[in-house]
């Protein structure tokens, strides 16, 4: 079986394409049937499709509709539930930069082969959100790539504001028959035959605190995503460990031995398999505490004593020292800076 057939895509993300097909006056269920996809699975928020068949659906839809703006049309149907709990994490992130980093961590939820698809380039005059779609096998058709870049902007506008416009947009593929709809959609210069599929934003916009920020909602949504990924790929042991760490931290019972027992492997097997993934239990524990610690400190309703408890530290002072090591300032200094 080839990689495309083994790779799966979240069905709820394909719902956007189905709605776009229907909006053109075609019956999406007929197109689904032609490529061998079960249209009824769109109603299941946890269902997944073969990425190869989804790519065939995009090809058939592009040929049937014959509109160079199809990908942009698909993006307009985006809803937070499109990407399950990850959509709500996005909207509740502290900033667009925070949201982008979260997407990079969890993009495998949307496509199991998309681990390194998202890339970011930050310069003094632009922040580039790069989608390396050409790394996927099979390579997505042009309309799907158009949709991916457009979707990033739709999500940014949902979190930041409808008046957000990029500095410029670039696509690797050649220009379609008409580019007017691209300029109208992005309200920015759109270039084709470029080195990257990318959306370029004002760096100040990317780092601005979002009015929709909600650390508690992010924590809950990230937990849902982590649990989903842990169940999706049992071979990804590090994700299973992270899921159990999040669950166990408040109890303080986070020893390697206990976590190994919780996921039904021996401690020695856990050490060996994590080493094969290039990480250790200690690093996973540190990374998980670091991510959660930042979320909790951003929530002004939580006391630092409570945060220390939630992260499994025996003393508040231990948390303060750890946070300063992670972020270069004490929790109180960080919170005061965020407020100002």
Asked whether residue 213 is assigned to any structural domain, the reply reads no
| Whether 44 and 153 share a structural domain | yes
Q: What is the tens place of the pLDDT at every residue in 246-298?
A: 888 888 878 999 988 988 889 999 899 888 878 899 999 999 999 888 888 88
Residues forming beta bridges with residue 130, ordered by sequence position: 119, 198
What is the number of domains present in the chain? 2
Is pLDDT above 60 for 2? no
The CATH number of residue 50's host domain is 3.90.1520
Per the rule left: phi > 0, alpha: psi between -120 and 50, beta: everything else, 325 is alpha
150 and 83 within one domain: yes
Residue 10 φ/ψ, nearest 5 degrees: -60, 125
**Structural domain contains residue 239:** yes
The string of pLDDT tens digits covering residues 32-87 is 999 999 999 999 888 899 999 999 999 999 999 999 999 999 999 999 988 888 89
What pLDDT does 1 receive?
A: 38
List the beta bridge partners of residue 122.
Answer: 127
Q: Looking at the domain assignment, is residue 81 inside a domain?
A: yes
The verdict on 167 and 240 lying in the same domain is no
CATH number, domain containing residue 238: 1.10.10.60
| Sign of the C-alpha dihedral computed for residues 282, 286, 291 and 293 taken in this order | positive
Q: Would you give the DSSP letter of residue 194?
A: -
For residue 305, what are the domain limits?
A: 234-339
Say if residue 92 is in the same domain as residue 14: yes
| Ramachandran angles phi, psi of 201, nearest 5° | -120, 160
**pTM across the whole model:** 0.79
Residue 218 belongs to some domain of the structure: no
> Is residue 339 over pLDDT 70?
no
In a domain, 223, yes or no: no
Residues 269 and 130 reside in one and the same domain: no
Same domain? 189 vs 314? no
Q: Round the average pLDDT of the chain to a whole number and report it.
A: 90
Condensed to tens digits (0 to 9), the pLDDT of residues 224-253 reads: 888 888 777 666 788 888 888 888 888 887
- Least Cα distance to 192 among 218, 170, 160, 225 occurs for 170
């Amino acid at each position: 079986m080839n990689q495309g057939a083994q790779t799966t895509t979240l069905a709820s993300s394909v719902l956007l394409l189905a709605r776009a097909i229907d909006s053109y006056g075609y019956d999406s269920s007929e197109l689904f049937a032609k490529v061998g996809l079960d249209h009824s699975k769109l109603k299941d928020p946890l269902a997944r499709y073969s990425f190869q068949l989804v790519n065939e659906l995009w090809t058939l839809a592009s040929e049937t509709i014959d509109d160079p703006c199809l990908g942009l049309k698909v993006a307009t149907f985006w809803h937070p539930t499109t990407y399950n709990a990850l959509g709500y994490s996005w909207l509740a992130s502290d900033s667009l930069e925070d949201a982008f980093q979260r997407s990079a961590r969890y993009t495998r939820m949307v496509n199991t082969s998309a681990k390194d698809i998202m890339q970011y380039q930050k310069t003094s005059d632009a922040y580039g959100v790069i989608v390396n779609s050409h790394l996927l096998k099979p390579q997505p058709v042009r309309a799907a790539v158009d949709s991916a870049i457009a979707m990033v902007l739709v999500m940014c506008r949902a979190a930041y504001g409808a008046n957000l416009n990029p500095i410029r947009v670039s696509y690797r593929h050649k220009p379609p028959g008409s580019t007017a709809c691209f300029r109208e959609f992005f309200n920015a210069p759109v270039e084709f035959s470029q080195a990257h599929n990318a959306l370029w934003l004002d760096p100040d916009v990317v780092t601005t605190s979002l009015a929709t920020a909600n650390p508690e909602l992010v924590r809950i949504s990230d937990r849902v995503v982590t649990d989903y990924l842990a169940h999706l790929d049992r071979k990804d042991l590090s994700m299973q460990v992270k899921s159990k760490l999040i669950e166990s931290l408040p109890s303080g019972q986070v020893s390697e031995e206990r976590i190994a027992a919780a996921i039904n492997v021996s401690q020695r097997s856990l050490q060996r398999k994590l080493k094969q993934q290039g990480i250790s239990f200690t690093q996973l524990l540190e990374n998980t505490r670091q991510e959660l610690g930042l979320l909790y400190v951003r929530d002004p309703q939580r006391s630092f004593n409570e945060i220390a408890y939630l992260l499994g530290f025996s003393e508040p002072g231990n948390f303060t020292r750890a946070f300063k090591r992670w972020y270069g300032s004490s929790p109180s200094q960080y919170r005061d800076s965020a407020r100002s």
